Amino acid sequence: MLAVIAVCVTIFSISANAQYMPDVQLILSSEIYHYGDKLDYTIIVSDVTGEDAIIYITDSTGIRSPLFSTPISQEETHVMAPIGFDSIIWNEGQYLLELEYSGATHNANFTIIDDGSVGIPYWINDLAKLWLTTQMPDKEYAKAIQYLIEQEILVEPKSHGELYIPQWFRYPTAWWSSDQITDTTYTHAIQFLIDNKFMIIPIDQESSSSESFL
């Protein structure tokens, strides 16, 4: 009789554990983001199970893909994306985030709104750091600026000429690459220099891109 009771208790325990799921929440810092902003959210769990939390994202067209995976070592985990939204990769509109953790799920929505702010692709920041340390010549960094012109982040110069980037422009580039000024401020600075012919970017050269950089 005792053996039967022990078996029943064991089966009940296994069944209960198999069905157990922790409570989970995905809390966004904001429901509205602009280009240049970084996705910022907090994962809250009722129990640390040792598994990773996986974030999926679904865009306005219904395409779902994995976005991020992070280990959970405490009940509250803050996550900020390492790079901001840019208009080349991210379309304006609504997105759905889905959190999966130890069998439990939770969803949250956010919207990207184009208010004129700018998000520069992350790989251009990497190129800027090479240019700042003279590991990349002006001609190569100018290709990255040309790419921004082709993507209509910058307005095409009205006049052409020989390539020229003033050396002092390394200062605002250094501020931007270290997050001391925003993508929008940096692009406005480039546009001002181009418009006033303090910087000359020939538009007939081959531009740089993420594919050529990688």
Q: How far apart are CA 176 and CA 195, in angstroms?
A: 20
By C-alpha distance, which of 120, 101, 98, 122 is closest to 110? 98
For residue 110, the cross-strand partners are 95
DSSP calls for 177-191 = HTTSS-HHHHHHHHH
pLDDT in tens, 59-87: 989 999 999 999 999 999 999 999 999 99
pLDDT tens column, 186-210: 999 999 999 999 999 987 655 556 5
pLDDT digits (tens, 9 = 90+) for 27-59: 999 999 999 999 999 999 999 999 999 999 999
* Segment holding 78, helix H or strand E: strand 76-80
Percent of the chain exceeding pLDDT 90 equals 79
| Paired strand residues for 50 | none
CATH homologous superfamily of 21-112 equals: Macroglobulin (MG2) domain (2.60.40.1930)
pTM assigned to the model: 0.81
Whole-angstrom CA distances from 58 to 54, 122, 178 are 13, 21, 31
| Numbered ranges of CATH 2.60.40.1930 in the chain | 21-112
